[in-house]
C-alpha cells in the first residue's frame, strides 16, 4: 500500500468556494478566535458593541461600549475585579455620590463622632467641590494630584493637604482607583 503525497492547496481550482483564500504556503487563514473563558464580542443592532463572558461563579457578565476595542477592555477589567473580589464602580457613579455613601455607610459606623465630623467637613468642603463631578470609573491619580496641588496653591497647609489625601485614600481603599 503506497501513500499519496499531499499537494499544496491550489487556490485556482477552488476559486468559487466560500472558504477563505490560502496564503503563499497553501494554508488557509481563519478568523482570530478568543480563548476559552474569554467571552465574546458582538456588534449590536444600534451600532454599539457588547462583550459577554461567564464569571467564575457562573454569572453572565455583560459590558457595553461604543467601539469594538473598548468592549473587551471593559470585560477584562470586570473579570479582573471579580477575581480579586472587589466590585468595579458603576459606570455612571460620580465621586460625589461615592464619597457621600462612604461617609454614611462606612465612616459613620466605624469612627468616633468627632472624627466623622472632621471627615464630613473635608469631604463636603474640599473633595466634592473639586472632584465630585468626575465619574468614579474615570478618576485618575493625575486628577487627584492636580486637586492637591490646587489646594496647596490656594493656601492650605501641607499638613491639611496630606489630611485630604489620606481621607480620599481611606475612602478609595478598595482599589477602585490607582494610588494617588
Burial class (CB in 10 A: 0-12, 13-18, 19+), 106: middle
Span 38-66, mean pLDDT? Answer: 85
- Range with the poorest average pLDDT among 21-25, 41-45, 69-73, 108-112: 21-25
Summarised one tens digit per residue, pLDDT across range 56-115 is: 767 788 888 999 989 888 888 877 777 766 655 677 788 998 899 889 888 888 899 999
The answer, yes or no, to whether residue 21 has pLDDT greater than 70, is: no
Residue 7 is predicted with a pLDDT of: 61
Please state at what angle helix 158-171 crosses helix 141-153, rounded to 10 degrees. 150
If you average pLDDT over each of 19-33, 36-50, 77-91, 112-126, which comes out highest?
112-126
pTM metric for this prediction:
0.53
DSSP line for 128-176? HHHHTTSBGGG--HHHHHHHHHHHHHTT--HHHHHHHHHHHHHHTTTTS
Summarised one tens digit per residue, pLDDT across range 137-173 is: 788 899 999 999 999 999 999 999 999 999 999 888 7
Residue 122 cell numbers, joined: 473635608
- The Cα-based distances of 73 to 66, 104, 137 in angstroms read 12, 33, 13
Strand-strand pairing, 60-65 and 40-43: unpaired
The answer, yes or no, to whether residue 136 has pLDDT greater than 70, is: yes
**Which CATH number applies to 95-171?**
1.10.150.130
Amino acid at each position: 500500500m503506497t501513500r499519496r503525497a499531499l499537494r499544496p492547496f491550489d487556490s485556482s481550482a477552488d476559486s468559487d468556494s466560500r472558504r477563505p483564500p490560502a496564503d503563499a504556503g497553501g494554508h488557509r487563514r481563519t478568523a482570530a478566535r478568543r480563548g476559552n473563558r474569554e467571552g465574546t464580542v458582538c456588534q449590536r443592532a444600534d451600532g454599539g458593541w457588547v462583550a459577554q463572558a461567564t464569571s467564575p461563579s457562573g454569572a453572565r457578565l455583560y459590558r457595553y461600549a461604543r467601539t469594538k476595542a473598548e468592549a473587551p477592555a471593559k470585560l477584562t477589567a470586570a473579570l479582573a475585579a471579580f477575581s480579586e473580589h472587589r466590585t468595579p464602580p458603576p459606570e455612571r457613579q460620580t465621586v460625589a455620590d461615592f464619597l457621600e455613601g462612604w461617609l454614611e455607610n462606612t465612616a459613620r459606623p466605624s469612627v468616633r463622632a468627632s472624627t466623622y465630623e472632621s471627615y464630613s467637613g473635608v469631604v463636603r468642603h474640599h473633595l466634592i467641590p473639586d472632584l465630585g463631578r468626575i465619574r468614579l470609573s474615570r478618576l485618575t491619580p493625575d486628577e487627584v494630584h492636580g486637586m492637591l496641588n490646587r489646594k496647596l496653591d490656594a493656601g492650605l497647609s501641607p499638613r491639611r493637604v496630606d489630611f485630604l489625601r489620606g481621607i480620599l485614600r481611606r475612602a478609595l481603599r478598595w482599589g477602585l482607583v490607582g494610588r494617588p
